[in-house]
Homo-oligomer: A and B are copies of this chain.
Amino acid sequence: MNEFDSIIGALAPDSLLRALSRDQLEGLLVKSSRRELSKGDVLINQGDEDGDFAVYLLSGALKISFVSASGREIILNYCAPNELVGEIALLDSGPRTASVSAVVQSEVLLLPTKLFLETVSTNPASVVGVMRELARRVRQLNLVVESDRTFSMGPRLARALVRLIDRNHSDGRLVYSPSQNDLGAFAGLARENVSRLLSEWESQSIIARVGRSLEVRDAEYLELLAEFGDDL
């Protein structure tokens, strides 16, 4: 029993890191650092030149966002535990193109770029895992472009909510309940309209509000809206 057992034991069965051998994993962990984040802590700032680590989320939730040339925030994704983040900058040594911050108390591993790439690239099984993850992200972004271009507000917000549904529970709770502001930055619409839509959906019992957080009551409806857009 060594000091990494608790980390390794806590890795999800489908974790990307699980594809590594025990030795590789320990070799990586010994050079990595573990870090606690409080709500709101910023881990990576858009523009940082320190692309020398990737982030593996152990627990909590992260927000990936950037500020566009026009000054508006765009939220690209919310991350759940066992996801890898920030590996884009690993690959082309430019400045970070997005910021990463904790939206709830979180625990992360900071993996050193070079070692991580070396370890992964010499392990065929984990290579495919990482590539799969990147591919998933490309697909997701394709969907965002689709909805931004061709959907009206309702379906766009529906997609955002569906993406936030916590698949670990069957009630409609979200992995994280963002403010209307953040929901807008995630779905691509103005905060005021988020407010209007949520009110409308609440009155139709499609969603509910418990305290300040949302719950999806009629996921099926939102999923239809998210899939087919306005011509539902």
Name A residues whose Cβ lies closer than 8 Å to a Cβ of B.
66, 68-70, 72, 74, 76, 87-88, 90-92, 97-98, 117-118, 120-122, 124-125, 127-128, 130-132, 134-139, 141-142, 144-146, 148-151, 188, 227-231
Contact = CB atoms under 8 A, between A and B. Distances in A.
A135 B91 contact: yes
Tally of this chain's copies: 2
A120 B125 CA distance: 11
Given A70-B230, A144-B145, A88 B127 contact: no
A88 B149 CA distance: 22
Contacts of A149: 68, 72, 74, 148, 188
Could you tell me the dominant secondary structure of chain A's interface residues? helix
B134 A131 contact: yes
A135 B74 contact: no
B134 A92 contact: no
B141 A87 contact: no
Contacts of A72: 149-150
A69 B91 CA distance: 33
B91 A142 contact: no
A150 B66 contact: no
B88 A139 contact: yes
A69 B150 contact: yes
A132 B70 contact: no
Given A124-B122, A227-B69, A229-B70, A88 B138 contact: yes
Contacts of A125: 121
A130 B128 CA distance: 11
